[in-house]
Chain A
Amino acid sequence: MPEWPRAINEEMRQHLDDEYEALRGRGFSHDAAMRALAGDVEEAASLRMRPIDALRTDVRYALRTVGAHPGFSAVVLLTLALGIGATTAVFTVVDAVMLRPYPYPDMPRIMMVSETVRTGQPISIAWPNFQDWRAQNQVFDALGLYRGTVMNLTGGAEPERLIGSLASADVFRAVGMQAIVGRTFTEDEDKPGAPRVVILSDRLWRSHFNADPSVVGRSIVLNGETHAIVGVMPAAMRFPSRVTDVWLPLGLFVPTFPTDRGAHPGLFAVAKLKPGVSVERAVADMDTIARRLERQYPLSNTDHTVSVVPYYEQIVQNIRPALLTLMGAVAFVLLIGCANLANLMLAKAEARQRELAIREALGATRWRVFQQLLTESVLMAVGGGALGALLAWWGVKGFVASRPATVPRVDLIAVDLRVLGFALAVSIATGIVFGLAPALRASSLDLLTSLKDATRASRGAGRRLRSALVVAEVALALVLLTGAGLTMRSFAALTAIDLGFDPSHVVTMRMALPSPRYPDLTKWLAFHRELVQRAAAIPGVEAAGLNSAVPLEGGGSESEVRYEGQPLPQSVSEEATMCLFQAATPDYFRALGIAIVRGRSFDDRDTADRARVAVVEEALVHKFFGDADPIGKRIAFEFTGHGPSAQPLWREIVGVARHVRHYSIAREPATVEVYAPLEQLPIWFRERRPGLTLFVRTPLDPEHMVASVRQTVASLDREIPLYAVQTMDEYVGQATEQPRLNMTLLGLFAALALMLAGLGIYGVLSYIVGRRTLEIGIRLALGATPGDVLRLVVGHGMTLAFAGIAIGLAAAWAITRTMQSLLFGVSPHDPATFAAIAALLGAIAFVASYLPGRRATRVDPVETLRAE
């Protein structure tokens, strides 16, 4: 009885058997009977099955195949898991940060509005300018104004530091958020002299009021004053910041705002576009107003424009290039993985050629064979995807746990159903991508040739396809490695920068004395004087100092600075020299390790009743005095009055300090740094006294000093909370966080790509060597030396590698340009990086070719020929 294809069920088999018998009974030969039945068999093997049955059969068959080759399957699954896992992990972040809708209604209509100076740098808004904007604009439904603040919450067991926001009633209208309990501010509450009210964040409401819905009407004590609670905002309200604890009506504080258009007191605006108004129209409208103000107030408003940026853009603009680069990187890893797997599947399909040919001879259509092979690859991809999702979940958890401060909405990043759906889609697509080529080839094999000679049929097309895949893999890996190499060079350049201070062994903490308890300057100064003395006396403390600014924190208060005898500006548009002015105690420089290169630091002589002094940075000296000795010269950054009639308050330079990076490590504005003694507090600080940061240097582990410093503060005043307790090393870590993340992640993906590409070359050459054993045996028998054979194999591998490297270099040249914004101190076309990466990939390719090459030299000619 003939063998029927497996796919045909028993009943039909029985039928075919009966028919075969009948035909033979009528005198048909076996071949004639088979020919007569061929059509029925083919139909029965294919058409019979409903797609779902066919799929079930294929899945069962594929599972058996996977189980039968555990080693092969493990390699495939691992490759897939890594590729899909990396892609899923990065997508999780992209989804949370960029794709998932923000909770504000009409997010596209929410605009961030700020003043900008000539360089395009946004600055905070002058209060009178804001009033004109609000009165004159025709494009906004609501234009809200806000300012960040920190407040002391007392009345509990321990004083607490809260992040507050002074927000006008329009802020809530602009972002479109309602209170979940109570309400937002009324216009009456948002006025000078109104009774003090406060809105709580969801977090504060839960932690301090047990989410009590009847909290409205109760009150809390902020900065020593009682505030009535009018509402609670939902957890989704993250404006202006995720960490905002309380909102207070901005109107109450209007009397403290400078009425001078030259003063920019930390105010920012958020607006909601009127329906149907485009961003462009809003920009144009605000520009018209800005130009009108420029004509009216040339002294303060020359070259000042207004920037209107969609809120969404502002959130994602810094992170987008990095995320897109990483998304590209993981896509490359996945593609390289696909190329590898396509090669593996090709090899396997060829090994199974005889099996497939028989199935086809017995009536399986090519479509069925194709379907079967594709089912196998998709199934493996889905299995790999499941593992990958697990890897992604684990990776994302680690990433979120590292609390990257530069990633918006980091707390929302999690592997959820959306992400799993993405992983599934990617898996299926991956399975199709790497399974398609082998399935197409296997289903189009020449039947006869395969049956006659399944092992050595000429398969030039197959080899070309495999070689092309390897070339593509190498090219992709090179692009990825180049990107990673550039971020590494960039990071090295970044960390090589002289910060101007020594961040190791320094712990910092911030405090702000509430004005109701420290109403006058004398008391305020006395507290700090005493604090520094006591902190310095703590055993293990080398030096302790206070400053109004913290390096790498993004600057602080700025003002114009002039030197004595400087000619008056010739025109209003002449650039003034801006300085970052700070109030510091004498030991600040020693505590932070800032070198005084000339003159002296402050000391006990520099009190309020003595001559006013300043320490300045080198850049100021160079700019104002060239090579002349600056000690004893006078500068001023405080003025009484405004414009050309402003009267400078001169300070004598007593010392010159090194430049300290304040704004960021990579990009520093042209602002120069000036220090005044805390005892001679700059007049700008008299009205609104700054919170000060205590810097403590210790040879011990700085973390260990925190408790004793806390005690010292408490011994002076129990009601003062310390906040932002962290080491200077942590500030440096935060400042380098994004480049370090870029480098680490890209490096990780590039290493993966390198490994996969190496495996790819190795796999293909091993396969070719295996296939050409006979040829190699004959060559060796005919007198070729092992060296010749090695050259043959390695030559083949290196040809592929060089082709891939050449294509990859061209592609990298084109692609790395898009990374410009991620790089610092290195060109996206850095020749050294390109050369080093090409050499690295060449070396890996050599190793990957050498191993199968050496195996080829060990071919025993006699053994091989006998085997044939």
Chain B
Amino acid sequence: MQYMKSPALDRELKKGSAELLILSLVEDQPRHGYDLSKLIETRSGGLLTFRVASLYPLLYRLEKRGWIQGRWIEKAGQRRRRYYRLTAAGAQVLEAQRNTWRDFVEAITRITGVEHA
């Protein structure tokens, strides 16, 4: 696993956004943990990474809150994996978090004049 370019930025952003990221990624289809971590890493261009020790406890917490649901699924010729899908409650949370995030980013943009990415 690559080391992060800016650990401080990574940590700060992740703190606020980790839940949002995971909920978004399981919105369309169920995914397992390794898949999630790879997707986050590649789609962020390596800017965001999750360590094993923080990803799985986070999944555990989200499941405990009822926002996602995990299921062990066995596919032929593979070891079983735990796939997570978004629950109805999770979908509501995702909607709310997305709005919050959008408002937040717009506010920052208006103040700082940074172009929306």
Contact = CB atoms under 8 A, between A and B. Distances in A.
Interface in B35-83: 37, 51-53, 55-57, 79, 81-82
Given A15-B37, A18-B34, A19-B34, A40 B82 contact: no
B34 A43 contact: no
B30 interface: no
A687 interface: no
A36 B52 contact: no
Contacts of A17: 79
Interface residues of B, number: 14
A436 interface: no
A14 B53 contact: no
A40 B51 contact: yes
A44 B81 contact: no
Contacts of B57: 48
Interface in A8-49: 9, 11-12, 14-19, 36-37, 39-41, 43-44, 46-48
Interface in A95-134: none
B51 A15 contact: no
Contacts of A39: 51
B22 to A, nearest CB: 14
Contacts of B55: 15
B53 A19 contact: no
A19 B1 contact: yes
Contacts of A18: 34
A47 B53 contact: yes
Q: Which of A12, A15, A16, A37 has the most CB of B within 10 A?
A: A15
Given A11-B33, A48-B57, A16 B52 contact: yes
Given A15-B33, A15-B34, A18-B34, A36 B1 contact: yes
A44 B33 CA distance: 14
B52 A43 contact: yes
B103 to A, nearest CB: 33
A250 to B, nearest CB: 74
Interface in B76-109: 79, 81-82
B82 A44 contact: no
Contact of A40 (B32, B33, B53, B79): B53
A46 B54 CA distance: 11
Contacts of B52: 12, 15-16, 40-41, 43-44, 48
Contacts of B53: 40, 43-44, 46-48
B51 A14 contact: no
A780 B30 CA distance: 72
A39 B57 CA distance: 16
Query: Which one of B32, B52, B57 has the highest number of Cβ atoms from chain A below 10 Å of its Cβ?
Result: B52
Contacts of B51: 39-40, 43
Contact of B56 (A11, A19, A41): A11
Interface string B1-27: 100000000000000000000000000
B77 to A, nearest CB: 14
Contacts of B56: 9, 11-12, 15, 44, 48
A40 B34 contact: no
Nearest to A46: B53
From B33, B34, B57, B79, residue with most partner A Cβ within 10 Å = B34
A800 to B, nearest CB: 47
Contacts of A43: 51-53
A405 B51 CA distance: 71
A18 B82 CA distance: 13
Contacts of B81: 14
B101 to A, nearest CB: 27
Nearest to B82: A11
Nearest to A47: B53
Contacts of B37: 15
Interface string A367-386: 00000000000000000000
A11 B60 CA distance: 11
A24 B8 CA distance: 29
Nearest to A17: B79
Contacts of A11: 33, 56, 82
Contacts of A48: 52-53, 56-57
A14 B32 CA distance: 10
Given A12-B56, A39-B51, A43-B51, 11 more contacts: A9-B56, A11-B56, A14-B32, A14-B33, A15-B33, A15-B34, A15-B52, A18-B34, A36-B1, A40-B53, A48-B56
Which 4 interchain pairs have the tightest Cβ spacing? Answer: A43-B53, A18-B34, A40-B52, A47-B53
Interface of B: 1, 32-34, 37, 51-53, 55-57, 79, 81-82
7 contacts: A11-B56, A14-B33, A14-B34, A14-B82, A15-B37, A43-B51, A44-B53
